[in-house]
Amino acid sequence: MRATGMAPGRGKNMALSLCVEYLPMGGSRWGGMQDDNMGDILAAVRRAPIFSSLPDEDIDRIIAVCARKKLDADEIIFSEGDKGDSLYIVLAGAVTIWKQYRQEGEQLLTVCAAGESFGELAMIDDAPRSGTAVARVPTDLLRLERKEFHRVIRNSVNISLAMMRHLSRFIRERTSDLSEEMKKREQDLEEVSAELETAKEEKESTEKQLRFMITRDRLTSLPNRISFIERLQYLIEKTKDGALGRFYIFSVNIDRFTVINESFGHPAGDQVLAAVGVRLREAVGSRAMLARMGGNEFAALFRGKITPETALREAERIRGALQAPYPSRITGTEEILLTATIGIILGRPGYQAVTDCLREGDMAVHAARETGPGQCRIYDPASCGTGRPYLLESDLRKGLARKELRLQFQPIVRLDRLEIVGFETLVRWRHPVKGLISPGEFIPVAEESGLIHDLGRWVLRRALYRLKKWLSILEGDRSFFLTVNVSAAQLTAPYFIDAVAEIIGESGVPASCLKLELTESILMEDIDTLADILQRIRNIGIRFAIDDFGTGYSSLAYLHRLPIDVLKIDQSFVKRMKDNDQRDLVPVIISIGRNMEMDIVAEGVETPDQIRLLRRHGCGFGQGFLFSRPMYASDVTYRMLSPSSGMRIFSGCDHNSLA
């Protein structure tokens, strides 16, 4: 930059005849001052704190080496990180200084109005800019380059001193602000540190609580199955390498516990289990790890060796403690008497897994029960056998707790329109070791053991939960329904009607959208009692279907007396259907059902020919692989009940092919 047109001895008016050559800056140009506004420029520079103490002659010298530029709004003057080389004075308008301009974490540092300066530290060195300067509005700026300023102050002590005083004050203020900021940061850090310490303590406390919840039984506060298995696994491993001696286990089962729940309710049953836990603790003491394995099963794990005779005596002592009467306050009416069956495992070297050991306990309990309730038995491979039914019962009990069972749904189709009108609910059990177990295998075990009641409630709740979702997709179509199978043991249980009504109420599903399927063998029950039960349930709004009709105990007289809405023809009859076959029973069953004003559903429909025959005989509904195999709920939702597909069957058959 070079000043021209200067004449000596002009005093403070010297600057009025100055003009400044253009200087480049980032692609824009800074121009000289015009005479018509030099008074305003002089006043603006004089207001700048850095030069406010200087006489006019010194200010003139400074103005003589300045450049000027008018900027548009949002025009950038310099960017954060640029090397500092100039000081700026705002003549008019305003300038904002930003940290991380237009980036995440953007922060406004300050606003410089007319008469204020910024970028003073650039007069000392070329340290990078700490922020980005942006014209807030159309702005008039005066720029003073460091090299030009240094040339001026060489010949002016006043300017040098003014600069030093300003920078000293500037640094003190910044340092003071920084000190206050540091104090605040220190306080914030102390608060954060205290919060972290509190959070750490809360985390440790939560972890302890979670560990307790994971490894302890909520009802009895005893260690649970997880904790027991961890300890048993440790002992098995130590027994393998000879680091520890032997161990033995008492597997304790409360007999016929389902009867207590059914007679007095689950809250009373829970109190009984809690009381059993207390008595077991007192009987076993600190000699063993005692755990509740789930439901009515407990186990005690002892260290050391024991003779068979001593083990049986100890088991009899524990059994006797459990069989003492339980107080009437539990039921509110009368004392409860229990019996307990105890299976004993005399731990041996060579167990490969915890499951091997637990299986022997289950088999010992099963062997003891074969001689009657309230017995004790030591596991012996020769006498305990495979224990398949009991093991299946035990696994089923555990499977319910571990949510190994799932529901599938098979569509029921209106044959004249090939439209889905409902689904039958089917329960499936995939055992983690044995794979898929047939309902024909585990349902009888559930009925015999009493597990059918817990299983039935679970199925009904899950089915109605799904039905509620599907009804919302179908906009509340009350003609759509689910069928759920019910056994005679469930139907005749004293709590069944109330349980069904409660579950229906909880679900929010209309009762008319639920059908309960009964096997034909249920007609062997007391017909008067059965008619009363069915009618009371029907009064709730629930309808009934007889499943597999024609294969079981058939009595049309009895069937007339029951409020049955649907007959389902067994698939064996559907498979044998032929044109003009006089021996065909399907037309007979359809005629019986229609005369009784029942809907007829043909099961096991697999071919279009079967649909044609069923239509010809007047059968209204069908179910089978031709339409769909049983599906999980997610497949039903997205493949068959989506808003786009409605309720149409996409089976490859159409009305024309079935005409």
Q: What is the pLDDT of residues 352-396, one digit of tens each?
A: 778 878 888 888 888 787 777 888 888 877 655 555 566 677 788
pTM of the model: 0.48
Q: Which of residues 155, 182, 208 is at a domain's end?
A: 155
CATH number of the domain residue 355 falls in: 3.30.70.270
**Euclidean distance between CA atoms 530 and 497, whole angstroms:** 12
Beta strands in 473-589 (DSSP E): 481-486, 514-519, 543-549, 566-569
Shared domain for 289 and 370, answered yes or no, is yes
Left, alpha or beta for 183 (phi > 0: left; psi -120 to 50: alpha)? Answer: alpha
**Euclidean distance between CA atoms 137 and 641, whole angstroms:** 61
Shared domain for 300 and 377, answered yes or no, is yes
Find tokens 């306990």 and name the residue.
Answer: 361
Q: Determine the residue type at 530.
A: L
Beta strands in 186-262 (DSSP E): 247-254
Shared domain for 241 and 122, answered yes or no, is no
Shared domain for 338 and 481, answered yes or no, is no
**Euclidean distance between CA atoms 550 and 573, whole angstroms:** 8
Q: Is residue 454 situated within a structural domain?
A: yes
Shared domain for 523 and 618, answered yes or no, is yes
CATH number of the domain residue 110 falls in: 2.60.120.10
Please list, in sequence order, all residues whose beta carbon lies within 8 angstroms of the beta carbon of residue 363, skipping any fewer than 6 positions away: 343, 379, 384, 385, 386, 387, 390, 391
Shared domain for 413 and 317, answered yes or no, is no
Structural domain range at position 366: 225-386
**Euclidean distance between CA atoms 626 and 610, whole angstroms:** 10
pLDDT of residue 217: 87
Q: Is residue 145 situated within a structural domain?
A: yes
Shared domain for 253 and 372, answered yes or no, is yes
Ranges of residues in the chain with a pLDDT under 50 are 1-28, 35, 650-652, 659
Q: Is residue 244 situated within a structural domain?
A: yes
pLDDT of residue 30: 60
Q: Is residue 610 situated within a structural domain?
A: yes
Q: Which of residues 121, 155, 189 is at a domain's end?
A: 155
Using CB atoms within 10 Å of the CB of residue 114, give its burial: 0 to 12 exposed, 13 to 18 middle, 19+ buried. Answer: middle
**Euclidean distance between CA atoms 48 and 66, whole angstroms:** 14
pLDDT of residue 78: 94
Shared domain for 360 and 439, answered yes or no, is no
Shared domain for 17 and 130, answered yes or no, is yes
Q: Is residue 164 situated within a structural domain?
A: no
Q: Is residue 625 situated within a structural domain?
A: yes
**Euclidean distance between CA atoms 460 and 196, whole angstroms:** 48
Shared domain for 374 and 414, answered yes or no, is no
CATH number of the domain residue 421 falls in: 3.20.20.450
pLDDT of residue 411: 94
**Euclidean distance between CA atoms 351 and 356, whole angstroms:** 7
Shared domain for 286 and 326, answered yes or no, is yes
The three-point CA angle 86-91-92 to 5° equals 130
Q: Is residue 391 situated within a structural domain?
A: no
Shared domain for 114 and 244, answered yes or no, is no
Q: Is residue 184 situated within a structural domain?
A: no
User: How many separate domains does the chain show?
Assistant: 3
